[in-house]
Structure 1
Amino acid sequence: METKNIGLRDIEVADTKISDIDGEHGKLIYRGYDILDLTKNSTFEETVYLLLNDKLPTKTELDEFKQRLIDARDMPRQMQSNMRNWKKNADPMVMMQAFVVALSGYYDDKGANDQEINYQSAISLISKTPTIVASWERVRSSKDIVDPDPRLSHAGNFLNMLVGEKPDAETERIFDICLILHADHTFNASTFAAREVASTGAHMYSAVSAAIGALSGPLHGGANYEVMKMLFEIKTADNAADWVKERITNGQKIMGMGHAVYRTYDPRAQVLKELSRKLAKKTGAPWFEITQAVEEATIHEMKKQKGIDIYPNVDLYSASLYYMLKIPPDLNTPIFAISRVAGWTSHVIEEKFAQAAPKTALYRPKAVYVGKYCGPQGCEYQSIDLRK
């Protein structure tokens, strides 16, 4: 009997202490802490420490952790040189995936199942993925690569490497909050991919590379790039209502609206909406106004035409926000990844070493075969000259 393909929705596959979602009430929790509380009071570095260590750090612990992240920012010069051999129009996510897994050739991956080595690998990946993305943007733009600046925060350093200009304090904080919001989101497609690969005993770099591959899809991390394409097409807020109405009437999806888990406003979208509003006021850019018009039109038309309540997800306002931060739209998904790598690495460590998910628990889901049977013994093989 054929089974309905539900994409493993509501199928419990493992325990986790890292994050939780209350889709009915729009709550996202990192290690017991509400994401809204963290965005008001924490920093990305502190949030990463929380995800990796299951507790908030003391001042001494945080200072030491931040220094470890700073010390690990540099990527091998040979890798940066190799970037220049790539086509400049190469997909940034393909580039990112390739260079992340290539890092394993420069570091010790023989301790794939050693907890301390995995922790060191997590630090390395969290620190180096921003360097990889920023270096690629400089190379493909025929600009000199900007070296990491140890005086800057994780968020400020990335923006400086990307555009070659130190951000002001407000801009730096806005991007820091964006990184906090994207750091983890339970067993989404990319996190599940990382954990599935980790369950085989593969090393951290392979698991994170697999996660990047999953994130690249337009139904997952690639959605925010599609949102920006939509905003470019709409052009002005006045065009939004008619554009949205036509799409919904034709049965087409509005990118950035609706979520597989949340039944109310995505809490990340709430924060990003206000950050986008703030940055639009600062820059004079029209993108917040257009995005808000899309949100309002979609809510209205979906209720009117289909009787459905729908709300923005994390992608709707992050697209315009990143664009106003001078981030090219095709880097939206890599930006997502430089934050989510904190969650991926935390999940890999949990998958390998937590008692609730022992490393021997290899993921092996069962499929229902719905293909043909020619008889009790299967189909009879015929030589090629007898086939019709």
Structure 2
Amino acid sequence: MLEKIKECLCVCNITEERTQKEYSEIISTLFDKGYFPGLKGIPIVESTISNIDGEKGILTFRGYPVEELANNCSYEEVCFLLLTGELPNKKEQEELRRKLLTHKKVDSKVTDLITNMDRNLHPMYMLSTGVLLLQGSDNTSFNIQNQKENIERVIRLIAKLPTLIGVYRTNNPNFAEGKEFNSFAQYALYCLDEGSSQNQKLVDIFEKLLILHADHTINNSTFSVRAVGSSHASIFASIASAINSLSGPLHGGANEKVIKMLEEIEVPENAEEYINNKKSQGEKIMGLGHRVYKTYDPRGVYFKKELLPQIFNDNNPFEIDSSLEDLYKVAEEVEEIALKQLGSKGIYPNVDFWSGLILKAMNIKSNYFTTIFALGRIMGWSAHWLENIESKSSIFRPKQLYKGSEIRSIKK
């Protein structure tokens, strides 16, 4: 088989060492299984939006390292970058901020339906439904030929996403009536917790968290956007599909599960036994490991080194509940044990491992954690939808490997 793989690489003129390794794995999988489970490692598009170096732990948006963007840019600047390809000047940044804050209001026909939804419904399911309901007020959304209009429609949708969350959380369509906001990040945080949005330190941390979640190449939810959008479906249909994809515990829902795991462990002394039990039973330990990174997730590193120290210290400008302090200590112990036992296997804490602790410090309920992931990721989803339209790519149509019955007849 090795000779066949080398022959294939030679025919395809693939010479770069890392690419050779990646394609060797792809060809080996094809020889072994005859198909590609989950399309793992299969390139499906050409894109200029974001890039990951999983070996070095590097994530870039339009060439900029995500850490630099989090340190130096606002939500509006990163949104402009992802949608257009370049960072905005001051005028463009202010104009985008004005548009986002101007278009945040949602039609009463939509808010009436949201306030009548079951209060036990997970917010992610409300969010995907709410996005589709927004399409009911835009009867030209299926016309996707004008890219300038597409960008304006995307901005209006991004503006309304936190409002859907705020209406559902408060059960009040007028929850933000008469309020003024300095930034879109502050408004988004207000939709989740009014008190935290009044603390500029927490707003800054929240804004960085949204930026760190803004895009991540062709993950499951972004694939959904690309696949649905490839049929020339509207931005509303495409984003709703991505939200549903993100809701799963193997994708965006993981940070909610991490908090539940830390609560189950209770105290640091229980961490090692918990991890050993999970390993012996072959169960997943939430917040550990990543399909792409073979080292520490750079977003997780940023949370750990830059954001968490601003919250868990004696001089922070807001009060931290003692139970949250305890969860943080449990998380530190889990991380230490995990790095000892699993680091050599390329399994490290990912973005979901730390983000839940930050959100709990903002008094945000854990069932809203994944909606916050969506508030950041909608920037990237929208950029991929726009790029898909611009590139005039073919409709996605993968092939299955049929293993069912041969043709047979019904006999009476």
Q: Would the TM-score normalized by the shorter structure come out above 0.5?
A: yes
CA spacing shift, 1:13–1:174, aligned 2, 3 Å: same
Where do 1:1-388 residues align within 5 Å?
Answer: 3=34, 5-107=36-138, 108-139=140-171, 145-147=175-177, 149-165=179-195, 166-274=197-305, 275-281=307-313, 282=316, 283-284=319-320, 285-286=324-325, 287-302=327-342, 308-353=345-390, 357-359=391-393, 361-373=394-406, 378-382=407-411, 386=412
Contact 1:155 1:172 in 2 (8 A): yes
Deviation larger for 157-166 or 257-266: 157-166
Aligned pairs, number: 370
Give the Cα–Cα distance (whole angstroms) in 1 for the partners of residues 363 and 167 of structure 2.
15
- Sequence identity, in percent? 34
SS at match of 1:135: helix
Q: Supply the distance in 1 between the matched residues of 2:261 and 2:178 (Cα, whole angstroms).
A: 34
- Secondary structure of the 1:113 match is coil
Moved more, 2-11 or 35-44: 2-11
Q: Does the CA-based 8 Å contact 2:300-2:353 persist in structure 1?
A: yes
Q: Following TM superposition, by how much is the alpha carbon of 1:185 offset from its aligned partner in structure 2, in angstroms?
A: 0.4
**CA contact 1:299–1:309 (8 Å) conserved in 2:** no
Please report how far the alpha carbon of residue 148 of structure 1 lies from its aligned counterpart in structure 2 after TM superposition: 7.8
Post-superposition shift, 1:3? 3.1
Partners of 2:342 and 2:348 within 8 A in 1: no
TM-score by length of 1: 0.91
Structure 1: gaps of 5 or more residues: none
Structure 2 length-normalised TM:
0.86
Aligned-partner residue type, residue 206 of structure 2: F
Measured in 2, the distance between the counterparts of 1:54 and 1:67 equals 20
| 37-46 or 282-291, larger mean C-alpha shift | 282-291
Quote how far apart the aligned CAs of 1:314 are.
0.6
Mind listing any 5+ residue stretches in structure 2 that lack a counterpart? 1-31
- RMSD of equivalent CA atoms: 1.8
Cα shift at 1:309: 3.6
> Is the contact made by 2:111 and 2:173 (CA closer than 8 Å) also made in structure 1?
no
SS at match of 1:7: helix
Segment drifting more, 153-162 vs 324-333: 153-162
Deviation at 1:234, TM superposition (A): 1.3
Structure 2 CA distance for aligned equivalents of residues 234 and 148 of structure 1 = 44
2:338, 2:136 → 1: CA distance?
47
Partners of 1:71 and 1:143 in 2: CA distance: 16
Question: Deviations along 1:304-346, whole A, 9 cap, x unmatched?
Answer: xxx6242111100011111111111011111100110110111
